[in-house]
Every structure is written in structure tokens, then in C-alpha cells.
Amino acid sequence: MRGYAAMAATTPDFFLHSGDTIYADGPIEARLAEPDGTSWRNLVTEEVSKVAETLKEYRGRHRYNMMDQNVRAMYAHVPVIAPWDDHETVNNGYPGEVLDDPRYTVRDVHTLAVRGRRAWQEYMPPLRARANTSTSAMWISQATARSSPSGSSTPTERCNRPGR
């Protein structure tokens, strides 16, 4: 994915991924016909050839993205902050929903969400895990600032990266 190479070239302090780190609910086809008559060809693995339902398939969706050298390079050097949202499980799914979609054999959204979230957590580790290296230090802001004995807030955020 060339966009990741372009972003990494700017040497960002972090990458705020706006969601949809995967599309678990969108099978990837080997070939897509374009309106102009040309074809787009995709590398397809077993896990992305259908909607994700099993933990193995959700993990396979994340592994599929990591097959791209540009994604791997950026994730290795840039801390990523990514929310878990609907496409990591099923589009617009909600608690208690039972899917009426013939592509799924597992129709309970809660079951799919448990599997999808586990895979997401395995492939999107906390920011601190990637940011703490011998050459950089990252302190993550707390939801609320710590208070000093005088009652004033003390900052809890610091970024010290080489070249910054």
C-alpha cells in the first residue's frame, strides 16, 4: 500500500488510524473488472476470501495487511493509535444483533465481535508497547491529569524521538 510509504516518509511522531484497520465483512476477490474494461488483480489468501467468522479468519485479515512491506515498515517505526470499530467485526453491527446475511454461518454479532476484537488486540498492541525502545520514549496521556499536592495539574505526556 503505497500510501503507507508516503506517510512514513514524512517521519510522523505517530499515526492516528481513523478505523477500519481491516474489512472483516468484505471478501477480497482475486480479480475485479473495472468500468473501463481493465482488471484489478488481488493476492487472495484463504482467510480473506470470505467474510471473517472464526478467530483464525479475523487474524488472517490482519496478517493480510501485514503482508505489505510498506505497512510493516511504517508500523515498525511509527506508533499507531487505532480505534476498534465496525468493520473489524461486521459493518454497523450492534450488541444483540443476529445477522440476516447469507454469507455468514455464525450470525450472532456478539460472538463475531469477541473474535474480531481479540484479533484486533493482537495486531494493534498498545502504543506504549511499540514506542518504548532504547532510542525513544513515549508517555501516554492519562484520561485525567495527575494532581500535585498544590492542586495544580502536572502534564503526563512527553515525546522524545531522535531528530525531533
Q: Give the DSSP per-residue string, 106-156.
A: --BHHHHHHHHHHHHHHHS--HHHHH-BTTBEEEPPPSS-EE-TTS-EE--
Residue from 9, 155, 23, 14 nearest 88 by CA: 23
Quick one: how far is CA 4 from the chain centroid?
13
Residue 19's pLDDT is: 81
Q: Which three cell numbers stand for residue 123?
A: 495486531
CA distance 47 to 29: 12
- Is-contact 86 93, C-beta < 8 A? yes
**How many structural domains does the chain have?**
1
CA distance 52 to 48: 7
DSSP codes of every residue in 66-102 = HTSHHHHHHHHHS-EE----GGGTSTT--TT-B---T
Mean pLDDT throughout 8-13?
94
Residue 142's pLDDT is: 33
Q: Which three cell numbers stand for residue 87?
A: 468493520
Whether pLDDT at 158 is above 80: no
Residue type, 94: Y
Residue 149's pLDDT is: 41
Whether pLDDT at 130 is above 70: no
CA distance 20 to 107: 21
Q: 10 lies in which domain range?
A: 2-160
Q: Which three cell numbers stand for residue 100?
A: 440476516
Tell me, what DSSP letter sits at residue 28? P
pTM above 0.85, yes or no: no
Angle between helices 55-66 and 109-123 (to 10 degrees): 40
Summarised one tens digit per residue, pLDDT across range 100-123 is: 999 999 999 999 999 999 999 998
